[in-house]
């Protein structure tokens, strides 16, 4: 499968498993899982991928640069990025510092209001600089923000491990952002 086709698959799967499952005729459980077989049938029904297979979806899940998808026991879910109501992870204690990738234009608002989830269910954070940088450079010059998670937890922020170095949180107050680094 070529890179262009993988990207197209990934975008449709993200839409299906993060934002609009009902538009594809699938149902997500409380953790965001749905049978892989249902996803294959939905992809075929919608016409975007008339010959979709479980193997292709496994390939997309394994190759995703951000580890967006998880397949367990014949069920698939998006690990993070949901706008639909799912609670895919248990609350956990994070490492002392995590990174948030953003862009230069967002800094004034972040300094005033903190890091807010906006139209997503959670704020996305990372243990790894490369992942945070990927997120930050989507809308302009990337900036990596270092989050003091101990201070954030004291302020009432909840953290959830999404896997592969990705963490989710509730909104982060501005005083918990302890460093800015332009990349």
User: What's residue 183's pLDDT?
Assistant: 87
Long-range contacts of 10-14 (CB under 8 A, 24+ apart): 10/60, 10/64, 10/68, 12/43, 12/46, 12/48, 12/49, 13/39, 13/57, 13/60, 13/68, 13/69, 13/76, 13/78, 14/68, 14/78, 14/81
Domain stops at, among 44, 78, 112? 78
Domain stops at, among 23, 47, 78? 78
Based on the fold, state whether residues 149 and 119 are members of the same structural domain.
yes
Question: CA–CA separation, 52 vs 45, rounded Å?
Answer: 10
- Which residue range is the domain that position 8 belongs to? 3-78
Based on the fold, state whether residues 152 and 104 are members of the same structural domain.
yes
Based on the fold, state whether residues 126 and 50 are members of the same structural domain.
no
C-beta of residue 116 within 8 angstroms of C-beta of residue 52? no
Based on the fold, state whether residues 72 and 122 are members of the same structural domain.
no
Mean pLDDT of the region 108-136: 91
**Which percentage of the chain shows pLDDT scores above 70?**
97
pLDDT tens column, 16-58: 999 999 999 999 998 899 999 999 999 999 777 999 999 999 9
CATH number at residue 118: 3.20.170.30
Based on the fold, state whether residues 119 and 171 are members of the same structural domain.
yes
Sign of CA dihedral 51, 57, 59, 63: positive
Mean pLDDT of the region 94-111: 96
Question: CA–CA separation, 21 vs 66, rounded Å?
Answer: 21
CATH number at residue 60: 1.10.10.970
Is residue 83 situated within a structural domain? no
Based on the fold, state whether residues 67 and 114 are members of the same structural domain.
no
Count of domains in the chain? 2
Is residue 88 situated within a structural domain? no
Question: CA–CA separation, 79 vs 73, rounded Å?
Answer: 15
């Amino acid at each position: 499968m070529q890179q262009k086709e993988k990207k197209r698959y990934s975008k449709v799967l993200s839409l299906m498993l993060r934002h609009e499952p009902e538009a594809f005729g699938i149902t997500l459980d409380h953790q965001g899982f749905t049978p892989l077989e249902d996803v294959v049938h939905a992809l075929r029904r919608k016409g975007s991928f008339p010959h979709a297979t479980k193997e292709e979806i496994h390939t997309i899940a394994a190759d995703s640069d951000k580890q967006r998808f998880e397949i367990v026991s014949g069920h698939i879910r998006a690990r993070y990025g949901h706008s639909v109501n799912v609670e895919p992870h248990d609350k956990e204690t994070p490492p002392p510092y995590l990174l948030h990738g953003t862009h230069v234009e967002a800094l004034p608002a972040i300094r005033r209001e903190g890091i807010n989830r906006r139209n997503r269910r959670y704020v996305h954070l990372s243990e790894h600089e490369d992942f945070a940088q990927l997120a930050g450079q989507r809308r302009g010059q990337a900036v990596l923000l270092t989050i003091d998670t101990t201070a954030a937890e004291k302020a009432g922020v909840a953290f959830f491990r999404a896997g592969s170095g990705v963490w989710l949180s509730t909104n982060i107050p501005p005083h918990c952002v302890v460093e800015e680094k332009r990349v």
